[in-house]
């Protein structure tokens, strides 16, 4: 690992000049004219093989309170730019910016001793964090004055919060072992807020002897993540007792292929009587795709276009053990299509409704999609395309917060092989990059 500025790489040190307010001169109508002082900030850029090494360089040279301004992944080049080089993490940081620390806060005892009130700070240092004076009302403009008062009140709250966080940052230096685990979580795409929460939880629960051992910390983090992942197990099929399971979700997540995998496994391996119903008549060749699978596996299939036809199709399959229903992909923002899907599911009297999501989607998009499809009565979650995902840390917020338990994972296009029953321990290993997908 090397820092930008060594003999091996070009230096990246910049000085940024900007104006900051130093005092206020009140005008006759209660406003203020700030005067400005030009100041300079030194910015340094570091590169290393991973986030841990880059942040270690920052801490070593600029101290634990340095502000990270920007991070990105870069690749060097070889042979005059003809061949790609190694992946590196670039971190831009400065010791001249006073912002709240982004690492986990200190223990409760530290927070109690490190969080004096704004009033006490003013008492010890009258020139620091000067109170914001309320705007004097302007005659004839009560509405404007009230609006300004509200805005200044919001600003004052923000300033006080930042001041408290800034004072706490003096106690925020992490032990080396916790710092390494924190950067490892960031490297596998666990979002910073969640990584910070996990580290703080370990810091509060683990004995001091354990905090010195990264292996023990990793094990504790894994147990915490695994306990937060809920799984439901495979579809329970009882011979002679019909069960109808529908798969729903946005377009392009692999619902039809997943239906084929489930059908093949239950019919060929479990020897159950299985039937297929599709209402995906919007997509070109969607019906033919499922019909091809039905012919290969030797399964009966019904095509449904209206809720009334759905009732009749389900009646024809009364003697089967399992009915799998394929549905058209719906945009989570299309409320009309969502309600139409709900009508089909209600008419079919579905026993289970599995929401199918792609593991390569963004965390926020998955959470919003899950919320939108909840109105149709989803009961479980299937994650697809694990083979296409680069990392799985982005799945963690949804898995921890979403009420849906996981039922299946898929990791390829092969029917019937590339599907498995969801297992919390395996998914934890995937999230922490401890197993192959």
Q: Say yes or no to pLDDT of 335 above 50.
A: yes
Residue 409: which H helix or E strand, with range? strand 406-410
Residue ranges of the domains in the chain? Answer: 1-97, 174-228, 243-431
Q: Is 56 helix (H, G, I), strand (E, B) or coil?
A: helix
Superfamily of domain 243-431: P-loop containing nucleotide triphosphate hydrolases (3.40.50.300)
Query: What pLDDT shows up at residue 340?
Result: 86
In which band, very low, low, confident or very high, does the pLDDT at 190 lie, cut at 50, 70 and 90?
confident
Lowest mean pLDDT of 26-40, 167-181, 354-368, name the range. 26-40
Query: What pLDDT shows up at residue 436?
Result: 53
Q: What is the DSSP string of 371-404?
A: HHHGGGT--EEEEE-GGG-S--GGGHHHHHH-SP
* pLDDT average, residue stretch 178-190: 86
Question: Are the C-beta atoms of 386 and 431 separated by less than 8 Å?
Answer: no
Across the beta sheet with 32-48, the strand order is 13-26, 32-48, 83-94, 67-78
> Which residues, other chains included, contact 143 with Cβ-Cβ below 8 Å and sequence gap of 6+?
none
Lowest mean pLDDT of 46-50, 145-149, 182-186, 217-221, name the range. 145-149
* pLDDT average, residue stretch 14-31: 45
Residue 300: which H helix or E strand, with range? none
Distance of alpha carbon 436 from alpha carbon 416, whole angstroms? 20
Query: What pLDDT shows up at residue 248?
Result: 93
In which band, very low, low, confident or very high, does the pLDDT at 160 lie, cut at 50, 70 and 90?
low
Residues in the chain: 437
Query: What pLDDT shows up at residue 394?
Result: 83
Q: What is the dihedral of CA 372, 376, 377, 381, to 10 degrees?
A: -60
Q: How far is CA 335 from CA 6, 98, 379, in A?
A: 57, 46, 19
Distance of alpha carbon 207 from alpha carbon 202, whole angstroms? 9
Give per-residue pLDDT as tens, 288-316: 888 888 889 889 998 888 888 898 899 89
């Amino acid at each position: 690992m090397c820092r930008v500025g060594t003999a091996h790489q070009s230096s990246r040190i910049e000085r940024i000049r900007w104006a900051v307010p130093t005092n206020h001169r009140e005008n006759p109508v209660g406003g203020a004219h700030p005067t400005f002082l030009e100041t300079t900030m030194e910015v340094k850029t570091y590169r290393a093989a991973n986030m841990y090494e880059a942040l270690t360089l920052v801490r070593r040279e600029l101290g634990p309170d340095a502000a990270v301004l920007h991070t990105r992944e870069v690749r060097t080049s070889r042979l005059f730019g003809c061949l790609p080089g190694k992946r590196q993490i670039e971190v831009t940081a400065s010791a001249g910016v006073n912002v709240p620390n982004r690492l986990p806060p200190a223990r409760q005892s530290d927070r109690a001793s490190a969080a004096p009130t704004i009033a006490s700070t003013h008492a010890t240092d009258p020139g620091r964090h000067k109170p914001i004076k309320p705007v004097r009302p302007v005659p004839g403009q009560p509405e404007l004055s009230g609006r300004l008062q509200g805005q200044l009140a919001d600003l004052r709250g923000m300033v006080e919060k930042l001041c408290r966080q800034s004072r706490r940052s003096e106690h925020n230096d992490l032990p080396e072992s916790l710092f390494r685990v924190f950067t490892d979580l960031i490297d596998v795409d666990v979002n910073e807020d969640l990584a910070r929460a996990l580290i703080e939880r370990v810091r509060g629960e683990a004995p001091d002897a354990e905090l010195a051992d990264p292996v023990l910390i990793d094990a504790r983090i894994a147990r915490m993540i695994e306990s937060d992942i809920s799984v439901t197990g495979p579809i329970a099929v009882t011979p002679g007792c019909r069960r109808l399971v529908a798969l729903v979700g946005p377009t392009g997540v692999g619902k039809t292929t997943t239906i084929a995998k489930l059908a093949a496994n239950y019919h060929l391996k479990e020897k159950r009587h299985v039937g297929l119903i599709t209402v995906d008549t919007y997509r070109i060749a969607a019906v033919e795709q499922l019909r091809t699978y039905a012919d290969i596996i030797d399964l009966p299939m019904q095509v449904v276009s209206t809720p009334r036809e759905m009732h009749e199709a389900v009646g024809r399959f009364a003697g089967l053990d399992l009915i799998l229903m394929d549905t058209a992909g719906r945009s989570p923002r299309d409320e009309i299509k969502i309600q139409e899907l709900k009508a089909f599911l209600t008419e079919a009297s579905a026993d289970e409704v599995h929401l199918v999501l792609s593991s390569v989607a963004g965390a926020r998009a998955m959470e919003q999609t899950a919320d939108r499809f909840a109105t149709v009565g989803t009961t479980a979650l299937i994650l697809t395309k694990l083979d296409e995902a680069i990392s799985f840390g982005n799945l963690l917020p949804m898995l921890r917060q979403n009420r849906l338990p996981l039922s299946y994972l898929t990791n390829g296009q092969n029917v019937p092989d590339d599907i498995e029953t969801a297992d919390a321990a395996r998914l934890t290993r995937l999230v922490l990059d401890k197993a192959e997908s």
